[in-house]
Copies of this chain bind each other. A is one copy, B any other.
């Protein structure tokens, strides 16, 4: 893997590290400053615009007691100043209930598109979606 790809993979990991820490400042630094950023949380409609996207992350992080990611299948492709990263987000999260914290695990598949800026790769598009199907192959072939 080239040094350039390493940088993109590190930028991708930083998205999940910011989420795990619930750190709004780090999350703001992950995202591009441009106002055409796009974000799809799993099962959500498409959110456009930096203010709206960052607000959604603040709400999600404020409502997440604990989350830990294990990324698998991370693949990065760079063309000029655009990088496309795909990965699987395997995560454990703590769900608060009247009897105490309950741990849940789930899987989301994600596409993350980064732009090269003067200070490094910044996230322009995040698209995460829930894996609802039971297997990797359609059953009818």
The smallest C-beta distance from A75 to any residue of chain B, in angstroms, reads 8
Contacts of A1 in B (CB 8 A): none
Taken together as a complex, chains A and B put the C-alpha atoms of A40 and B58 apart, in Å, by 27
Q: Is the CB of A46 within 8 A of B86?
A: yes
- Tallying the copies of this chain within the complex gives 2
Q: Size band of the A side of the interface?
A: 35 or more
A60-112 with Cβ < 8 A to chain B:
60, 62-63, 73, 75, 77, 79-82, 84, 86, 88, 107, 109, 111
User: Once the chains bind, are B46 and A73 in contact (CB under 8 Å)?
Assistant: yes
Expressed in whole angstroms, the minimum distance between the Cβ of A113 and any Cβ of chain B is: 6
- CB-CB contacts of A126-141 with B at 8 A, as 1s and 0s? 0111111101111011
Given A77-B36, A111-B111, A84-B125 contact (CB < 8 Å): yes
